[in-house]
């Protein structure tokens, strides 16, 4: 691949009110959004590291570490793009691990369908969107927390550590706590102190690249990924890396970044 196939530019983000410049190298040619995920993953990790550094400068310490997998039993919303990426990771696993991970996905999905957890969550989301008087934020939070209490681990959790850590979803990267690790075994708003993440690429990613396959769905749950990909063909369009990056940063800044052919013009995300 020749040098002209890639383009490098700078993006300015605001972290804790301070401008931080990042340099990104992206494909100059049309690609599917999955090709951009490693770049978005690195960017997300950089943002999270900066936020963690901020709380550490205030005398707090991040308590998350390998071998502490309590948070890997929570409901994990992912984007449509990430679902296809995770399915690809599983497909490339050697046997017998591939079959075992597929079994874990299927068992987890069957369990939560059987107890109608998805129905409860969707119903509450519909009530919220319709602004119904009966909707209760506490009821929604209790439903989300009820997933954890089912004690069903992420299919990728092995020896209480993420077995695909370099490829973990964006939202997993954004989840760090400074509260005692022991508190994570019984999480509640009162017992968990999360590291504030001032820009959340995971939320922006929910809208980037999405197709009609997820119309009416705010997000997929991680345990739905393989089932979803098996039922839906990859309908993603192809765009240049610059355009995909502009789409993501546009969602982060809640604005639209226009098309440009000027290499010197790069998206600047200043609060």
> Is 230 domain-assigned?
yes
Domain count, the chain: 1
| Domain membership of residue 211 as a residue range | 58-115+150-234
Answer whether 71's CB lies under 8 Å from 175's CB: yes
Which pairs with CB-CB distance under 8 Å and at least 24 residues apart come from 38-43?
39/241, 39/245, 40/170, 40/201, 40/205, 40/248, 41/166, 41/167, 41/170, 41/173, 43/201
* Any domain includes 177: yes
In a domain, 176, yes or no: yes
Domain-embedded: residue 178: yes
Residues 257, 46: Cα–Cα separation, whole Å: 22
In a domain, 252, yes or no: no
Is residue 77 situated within a structural domain? yes
Is 0.85 topped by the overall pTM? yes
Cβ contacts of 135 within 8 Å, gap of 6 or more: 124, 127, 128
In a domain? residue 239: no
In a domain, 124, yes or no: no
Per-residue pLDDT tens, the chain, 271 aa: give them.
454 689 998 888 776 677 778 889 999 999 999 999 999 999 999 999 999 999 999 999 999 988 889 999 999 999 999 999 999 999 999 999 999 999 999 999 999 999 999 999 988 877 766 677 677 788 888 899 999 999 999 999 999 999 999 999 999 999 999 999 889 988 888 899 999 998 899 999 999 999 999 988 888 999 999 999 999 999 999 999 999 999 999 998 876 666 654 333 333 333 3
């Amino acid at each position: 691949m020749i040098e002209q196939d890639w383009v490098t530019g700078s993006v300015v983000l605001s972290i804790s009110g301070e401008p931080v410049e990042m340099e990104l190298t992206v494909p100059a040619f049309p690609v599917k959004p999955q090709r951009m995920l490693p770049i978005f993953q690195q960017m997300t990790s950089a943002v999270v590291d900066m936020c963690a550094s901020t709380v550490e400068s205030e005398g707090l310490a991040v308590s998350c570490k390998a071998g502490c997998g309590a948070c890997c039993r929570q409901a994990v919303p992912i984007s449509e793009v990430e679902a296809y990426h995770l399915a690809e990771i599983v497909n490339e696993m050697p046997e017998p691990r591939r079959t075992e991970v597929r079994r874990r996905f299927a068992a987890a999905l069957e369990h939560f369908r059987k107890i109608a957890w998805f129905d409860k969550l969707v119903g509450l989301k519909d009530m919220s969107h319709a602004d119904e008087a009966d909707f209760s934020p506490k009821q929604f939070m209790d439903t989300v927390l009820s997933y954890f209490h089912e004690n069903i681990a992420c299919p990728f959790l092995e020896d209480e550590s993420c077995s695909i850590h370099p490829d973990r979803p964006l939202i997993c990267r954004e989840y760090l706590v400074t509260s005692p690790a022991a508190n994570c075994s019984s999480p509640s708003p009162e017992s968990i102190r999360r590291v504030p993440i001032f820009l959340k690429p995971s939320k922006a990613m929910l809208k980037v690249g999405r197709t009609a396959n997820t119309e009416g769905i705010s997000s997929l749950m991680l345990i739905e990924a393989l089932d979803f990909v098996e039922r839906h063909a990859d309908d993603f369009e192809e765009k240049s890396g610059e355009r995909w990056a502009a789409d993501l940063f546009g969602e982060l800044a809640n604005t639209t970044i226009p098309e440009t052919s000027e290499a010197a013009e790069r998206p600047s995300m200043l609060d």
